Structure 1
């Protein structure tokens, strides 16, 4: 009974928004959100960077990018395994897009001005799933820092 009562107060209407399609666009956005949250904070600078990346990558306006990010946030919450999200991209995009995605992920990590070990761990896990060699991943990380 306590669980039902707790669930009611958490979501009184019982309404759940359906998950967005787990396609490459949403998977990339979910990984951007996961990278931003890796250090247990989700700051405005990171959100702004995610929106900018999504707008540029998908050639959409800022409102559409914010809406896409919100969908990606939901997907990120529902998919607990980072590798599971990255695997969607691994099969859906080519090498150049994988590298562009890694640059974007590092830009999100760098957006708050502080790089933490937890963020490194998440990004290295994603790099491994995407099949990017560690030396190339380090070059992409440096490239991302220069783009800020």
Structure 2
């Protein structure tokens, strides 16, 4: 089902992903983060759905459908380094910065910071071409909204 998307992500000649594929790939990255600590819980699932609704203008059922597809893609996707580097080639910088903010949103959904989730964001940010300072500012924006 996802072979075409994965082949496109991992191709040596990157091209911009069509919107549905980009949405699916970014949602899969959010799920990979939520699963990083071994606990994929209701608060994280709800936050992923909310992020998908807000980021892509989806209704509740569309967001759940996208998340369900992304859960399957996340299981089939290659290691995080290759998957994230592929996203960098296919997603504009502004959107990648938004991805980091969305990752922080999901990581902080349960009200606490987890070392595994923090570590994954620290790995992913530079692979997406995002500076540590920009990632830190994204985290601060999410924390400020959560108060």
Give the TM-score taking structure 2 as reference length. 0.83
Larger Rg: 1
Aligned equivalent of 2:27: 29
CA contact (8 A) 1:30 1:75 kept: yes
Where does 1:53-72 land on structure 2 (aligned, <5 Å)? Answer: 53-72=51-70
Structure 1, residues 34-74: CA drift from partner, whole Å, max 9, x if none? Answer: 11111110110100110111112121111010000001000
Give the TM-score taking structure 1 as reference length. 0.82
Q: Any stretches of 5+ residues in structure 2 without a counterpart?
A: 7-20
Aligned equivalent of 1:3: none
Aligned equivalent of 1:82: 80
- Counterpart among 126, 140, 143 of residue 142 in structure 1: 140
Q: Any stretches of 5+ residues in structure 1 without a counterpart?
A: 1-17
Single out whichever of 36-45 and 90-99 deviates more from structure 2: 90-99
Tell me the secondary structure at the aligned position of residue 124 of structure 2: helix
Where does 1:119-138 land on structure 2 (aligned, <5 Å)? Answer: 119-138=117-136
How many Å separate the matches in 1 of 2:23 and 2:83? 11
Residue 80 of structure 1 deviates from its aligned partner by 4.1
